[in-house]
Chains A and B, each alone.
Chain A
Amino acid sequence: MMARAIGTIFLVLLFSQAALAAEAKDALKSSVDAVLNVLTTTKAGDPGRVEKLYAAVGRVFDPEELAKRTLAANWEKFSADERQQFTRAFVKLLEHTYLRRIEAYTDEKVVFLDEAPLGEGRAEVSTKIVTSTKEVPIVYRLIKKSDWKVYDVTIEGVSLVQNYRNQFNQILVKESPAQLISRVESMGSAS
């Protein structure tokens, strides 16, 4: 056990040496650590807990980039006002979803794996959540702006952005951007 722990630490050191440019991973890790820290030091319902969680997550997520990517080519059909409204509504929906998911967190471990470049200014960081009976691979895609920001999360191979993109695209075939926005708004406030 001890030997393995030392082995693991050694491996981690080795990898961090090898990947000096693992900036994306570091940015992500510091945010995840901050989230875990809030989760372990506060209890559900504590005052300020939700705000702290949003702050920790917000540090590494890029909501505008996420919103824009879920619309893909449809983004062009949105007016400047609609883009803002949509982004706000979508962020709210994501916050609700994310918060629920994170509140369900119990004893799972988050393991950081490798970082791979995805062309200029982009990288993919692989992680996994280890539960008592299985492992769930979660891959984050980050883009370098002023800092590294997450623009997509892939759970078990299912890309969040792609999933929303297909839904939004389906809706926009028949409905206007304003109608889509009101749908997103109602989902974000429903839960």
Chain B
Amino acid sequence: MLDGKRFLVIVLLLAAFAGLAGCASKKAAPAAAADPADDFGPVVADPIEPWNRFWFAFNDTLYMGVGKPFSAVYTRVLPKYGRDRIENAYSNFLFPVRFVNAVLQLRPDMASRELGRFLINSTFGLGGLYDLAASKPDMGPQKLDFGQTLGVWGFGHGFYLVLPVLGPSSLRDGIGMAGDVAAQPTTYLNTPIVLTLAISGAGRVNRFPEMIDIYEELKRSSIEPYTAARDAYVQLRAKVIEDARRSNPVFGGHKTSEAATTAP
């Protein structure tokens, strides 16, 4: 699994030189609408659409055929209370990832909030099972990932990429995902591979039921699920980056076209 991830990193990094730099400054140009609320919002290039559609269909079969029945059993065996504990512990385990990204985004405030959350939840929250910190104002969970960091630095998506099993992503966010894996404690601490797999596996599987719900909802409410998923992904990421930029004194000054188009 780790080897697979390393391979992914190399492939993505190579692709990065080809695509990312060029696309970073390229402007997404939605047709100017008479009404500002009538534009198409943030867009992403999709040059490998047939490839993406193949994996989208593949993932759909996987989610519906394996993921959904599995989730049904999983949620019956493990009630919400138990799933919440695992989610909290997994999120606590990923603290270094968020911390590193806060630093990379030059956000001492977010970094110290992450550190504070980690210390409180690891001790009084029983190793992260309970998110006690969140009950204090301004100590709730934060969204921080490396794809977001790259976005804050001014990189665009490059192009849309549907990953096998993992789903919607982009060149930039795929690289981000690989970077975040590298920042996971089990990557640099000398832990047995079994433990690494157990933690990541449990954390990801635990998120599965919710993910399946969201995916099914998207499928049932959309006319063109592929476009709906792509658009939802791009809007979601634009928001995550825009939020990080807006509150960032260093990177807030120069908004990318991507961040700007989400403004009302």
Interface residues of A (CB under 8 A from B): 69, 72-73, 93, 96-97, 100-101, 104, 118, 122, 124, 132-135, 141, 151-152, 156-159, 161-171, 180, 183-184, 187, 190-191
Residues of chain B in range 174-222 having any CB-CB distance to chain A below 8 Å: 213, 217, 220-222
Nearest neighbor of A97 in chain B, beta-carbon distance: B221
Assembly CA distance A100 to B221 (angstroms): 10
Pick the residue among A69, A101, A166, A190 that contacts B217 (CB under 8 A): A101
Shortest B18–chain A CB gap in Å is 27
Please tell me if the beta carbons of B224 and A171 are within 8 angstroms of each other in the complex: yes
Residues of chain B in range 10-40 having any CB-CB distance to chain A below 8 Å: 31, 33-34, 37-40
Nearest neighbor of B42 in chain A, beta-carbon distance: A162
Please tell me if the beta carbons of B262 and A157 are within 8 angstroms of each other in the complex: yes
Query: Which of B68-76, B112-120, B233-241 lies at the interface with chain A?
Result: B233-241
Assembly CA distance A187 to B262 (angstroms): 28
Assembly CA distance A168 to B222 (angstroms): 10
- A187 and B41 in contact (CB under 8 A), knowing A157-B239, A158-B236? no
Please tell me if the beta carbons of B264 and A124 are within 8 angstroms of each other in the complex: yes
Measured between beta carbons, the chain A residues less than 8 angstroms from B31 are 73
Please tell me if the beta carbons of A170 and B140 are within 8 angstroms of each other in the complex: no
Q: Tally B residues with Cβ within 8 Å of A.
A: 35
Interface residues of B (CB under 8 A from A): 31, 33-34, 37-41, 80, 84, 87-88, 131, 140-141, 213, 217, 220-224, 227-228, 231-232, 235-236, 238-240, 242-243, 262, 264
Measured between beta carbons, the chain A residues less than 8 angstroms from B220 are 96-97, 100, 187, 190-191
Shortest A134–chain B CB gap in Å is 7
Assembly CA distance A161 to B220 (angstroms): 16
Pick the residue among B222, B223, B238 that contacts A157 (CB under 8 A): B238
Assembly CA distance A190 to B39 (angstroms): 29
Nearest neighbor of B135 in chain A, beta-carbon distance: A4
Measured between beta carbons, the chain A residues less than 8 angstroms from B141 are 134
Please tell me if the beta carbons of B33 and A183 are within 8 angstroms of each other in the complex: no
Please tell me if the beta carbons of A162 and B223 are within 8 angstroms of each other in the complex: no
Measured between beta carbons, the chain A residues less than 8 angstroms from B87 are 133
Assembly CA distance A86 to B239 (angstroms): 30
Please tell me if the beta carbons of B227 and A132 are within 8 angstroms of each other in the complex: no
